[in-house]
Amino acid sequence: MLNDSDLLRVLRRHWEYSGKDEDIAHEIYHDDAVLEFPQSGERFEGVENFREWRRQYPAKLKFHTRRITHREDLVVVENLISYDGAPWMYTVNILEFRGDRVAHERIYIMDGWDAAEWRKPWRATAPADPPPPAP
């Protein structure tokens, strides 16, 4: 596994180039990596398969990384994503590393929602994330 600073550098580079230069963005994966979207039931085996459809992606993507958490060979990345300048959506990427590259990734994408008012008496004040750039 990479040390902390190298891991953060590699992951930030991945999202910086995702949707722009898929060869650079996909340097983080093993050739036999698996990519899954549990919400749609899709599974892609081999980086060449998901790199190729990502090259054909019909929308312009923008990412904003909110938080990266990691333990041993497991990394969780919380991002915001915008498709063609539309409002930001929340994403969670669960990355399993084998050595210094990703062997398995699961991606969840969802809309946000307003907090339930009835829970307000028990809520803590969450630390504010810096606002994302305009989509």
Q: What pLDDT, in 10s, does the model give residues 50-101?
A: 999 999 999 999 999 999 999 999 999 999 999 999 999 999 999 999 999 9
Residue of 86, 60, 65, 68 lying closest to 132 (CA atoms)? 65
| Mean pLDDT rounded to a whole number for the chain | 93
Shortest CA distance to 2 belongs to which of 35, 32, 27, 34? 27
**Is the pLDDT higher at 102 or at 132?**
102
Given a cut of 80, is residue 1 above it in pLDDT? no
- Radius of gyration, CA atoms only, the chain: 16
Angle at Cα 123 formed by Cα 122 and Cα 127, nearest 5°?
155
Residues 11 and 28 sit within 8 Å (Cβ to Cβ): yes
CA distances from residue 65 to 13, 30, 32, 61, 118 in whole angstroms, order as listed: 11, 22, 26, 13, 30
Domains located in the chain, CATH noted: 4-112 (3.10.450.50)
pLDDT number for residue 112: 86
pLDDT at 113 over 90: no
Q: What's residue 100's pLDDT?
A: 94
pLDDT of 81:
95
Quote the CA–CA distance of 133 and 135 in Å, as a whole number. 6
